[in-house]
Chain A
């Protein structure tokens, strides 16, 4: 068991290292010079002053150092929890921007992933046993899972926000309201949250329902199900076993889908101008904000890695075979 988790942690550590490195590299390979664009924004007319500013900025962000020094420094500041200063929202520290955005992203992601997984599994299991449900749930699921996040989000924003006008189409809360611990504020928050959540939930739902339906049908045809039927066990028991066993590949599927779901959430945030990491990343790319982009990606990578690790642990808990495999079988 310890060896298993030790190995897992090592793999996650390596992944993290690679992610940070790529993360550091990619913005620097992007065309364009962020300092130049900052200078352009500052509109300094005199060449000497411009030169002085350039030197100042380059020194401030550490761009005057050799590339390896920049790389090592980025690791150093990472461990100090210092993500640098945003170029776009200068001089706000990146960490502040991120801590403001992350709760919104998590509030969207965690419920939409978990609820769509649970509901999708239930729905798929039901579809596997009833012909009518199978003929309705399945086609709808195929449409949903084939829908791009962006498209469904835009469609919902248009229909509910613009045509019917029942939901807001932008922001995390109304501009007229100040954040506070009051019911009014929470209701307003939920009201803004509902559309992006619903669009994420719906797209993910279809995939889980299809997957579960197929695995359940396979499990109900399996030898242990046939044996139990031959011994006259009621369908209830057989279905319970089948569902329990069918959930296992769905857990693996969740681990595999996590990255896709996060990417979908980022895009959805942008459509709804939701103040999460997605919107932040868009702003960072548009303004060549290295540090913000790096910081945001780092948070996402960390989040996905932690979530994957949790799924690994959960899998070991729910599938006894993995535990037995680690302990070694007895003849």
Chain B
């Protein structure tokens, strides 16, 4: 197993108290597995992604552990985490358009980055990978502003995976792209996995239909907790958690005319994560809620590889 996350808790420090953005999430990721991490804004998916590579200044590692290839990652310690970054865990950021230093030629920046990590630049390998994402070799002699948005995105994907990390985190990388480019990005990521450039991947998005094209497993989060985790097909076709069911049913379907059938969302909003109430965090919006929901539902493996945190599903 590549990645093992156990009861991970990461809170945001604010003046009013701790925001419990990631509150006890456990899951595993096998070699070669792509995990799609889905959920609405504020569900903790980005916090989870950041926790795996670099906490920002306001985030605090409260509890739980992350183990990658048998080694426990010191995720709360920015300096001790450095040797793992890029080599074991890498990131494709949300902001690929501005991720490269605007005043350095791309090739030089890559060389300086690798030198700073005491790695040698394998130019043939780099050229080979550029070719794979259909970038001409001479992009290395260009400045980032000379590239189009799609080219920058692909360049960043190549840079991030250059050292063949065990785990790649792709955080909302398709949100700024049009649909055809989204598809190309997804195909490229799959190719990277198939060629062994990355062992496993966490693909964070709010777009369930896109996740379905890429991910082997989908994990749905709600209010800082795991709601459901199952193989992609199961999540899409036979979800067990009421939140997942509602999420899937709010997606438009091809061939259905929504003139007669209104597309419904999920009424209500996620709860505040500053001192959240005990029990199931979804119960205020849940159509199936009953007395038992005042107690927190533990994640239960209802069938093989299908974990649900709901009293009704177990």
For A224, give its contact among B81, B86, B90, B99 (CB under 8 Å).
Answer: B99
* Assembly CA distance A321 to B144 (angstroms): 9
Contact A232 B95 (CB under 8 A): no
Contact A237 B112 (CB under 8 A): yes
* Assembly CA distance A151 to B284 (angstroms): 68
Contact partners of B105 in chain A: CB under 8 A: 320
Contact B84 A224 (CB under 8 A): no
* Assembly CA distance A321 to B100 (angstroms): 13
Contact partners of B82 in chain A: CB under 8 A: 232, 234
Contact A234 B116 (CB under 8 A): yes
Contact partners of B98 in chain A: CB under 8 A: 222-224
Contact A230 B148 (CB under 8 A): no
> A15 on the interface (CB 8 Å rule)?
no
Give how many A-B residue pairs fall within 8 Å (CB-CB): 78
> B13 on the interface (CB 8 Å rule)?
no
Contact partners of B86 in chain A: CB under 8 A: 231-233
Contact A329 B146 (CB under 8 A): yes
A242 — nearest CB in chain B belongs to which residue? B101
Contact B95 A223 (CB under 8 A): yes
Contact B93 A223 (CB under 8 A): yes
Report the minimal beta-carbon distance from B173 to chain A, rounded to whole angstroms: 12
Contact A237 B146 (CB under 8 A): no
Find residues 209-237 in chain A having any chain B CB closer than 8 Å to their own CB: 222-224, 226-234, 236-237
> A51 on the interface (CB 8 Å rule)?
no
From known contacts A226-B93, A230-B54, A232-B83, infer whether A331 and B148 are also in contact, taking CB-CB under 8 Å.
yes
* Assembly CA distance A331 to B146 (angstroms): 7
From known contacts A321-B143, A324-B143, infer whether A237 and B103 are also in contact, taking CB-CB under 8 Å.
no
Contact A244 B103 (CB under 8 A): yes
Report the minimal beta-carbon distance from A89 to chain B, rounded to whole angstroms: 51
Contact partners of A224 in chain B: CB under 8 A: 98-102
Contact A232 B84 (CB under 8 A): yes
From known contacts A321-B143, A324-B143, infer whether A233 and B102 are also in contact, taking CB-CB under 8 Å.
no
Find residues 70-128 in chain B having any chain A CB closer than 8 Å to their own CB: 81-87, 90-91, 93, 95, 98-105, 112-113, 116-117
From known contacts A321-B143, A321-B145, A329-B146, infer whether A233 and B117 are also in contact, taking CB-CB under 8 Å.
yes
> A245 on the interface (CB 8 Å rule)?
yes
Report the minimal beta-carbon distance from B133 to chain A, rounded to whole angstroms: 16
Contact partners of A230 in chain B: CB under 8 A: 53-54, 85, 91, 93
* Assembly CA distance A231 to B105 (angstroms): 18
Contact partners of B146 in chain A: CB under 8 A: 324, 329-330
For A320, give its contact among B54, B117, B143 (CB under 8 Å).
Answer: B143
* Assembly CA distance A123 to B99 (angstroms): 27
> A64 on the interface (CB 8 Å rule)?
no
Contact A329 B93 (CB under 8 A): no
* Assembly CA distance A237 to B110 (angstroms): 12
B50 — nearest CB in chain A belongs to which residue? A230
* Assembly CA distance A236 to B113 (angstroms): 11
Contact partners of B85 in chain A: CB under 8 A: 230-232
From known contacts A245-B101, A329-B146, infer whether A228 and B113 are also in contact, taking CB-CB under 8 Å.
yes
Contact A231 B103 (CB under 8 A): no
Contact partners of B91 in chain A: CB under 8 A: 227, 230-231
* Assembly CA distance A234 to B104 (angstroms): 17
> A241 on the interface (CB 8 Å rule)?
yes
Contact partners of A236 in chain B: CB under 8 A: 116
A244 — nearest CB in chain B belongs to which residue? B103
Residues of A at under 8 Å CB distance from B? 222-224, 226-234, 236-237, 241, 244-245, 248, 319-321, 324-325, 329-331
Residues of B at under 8 Å CB distance from A? 53-54, 81-87, 90-91, 93, 95, 98-105, 112-113, 116-117, 142-143, 145-146, 148, 151, 156, 159-160
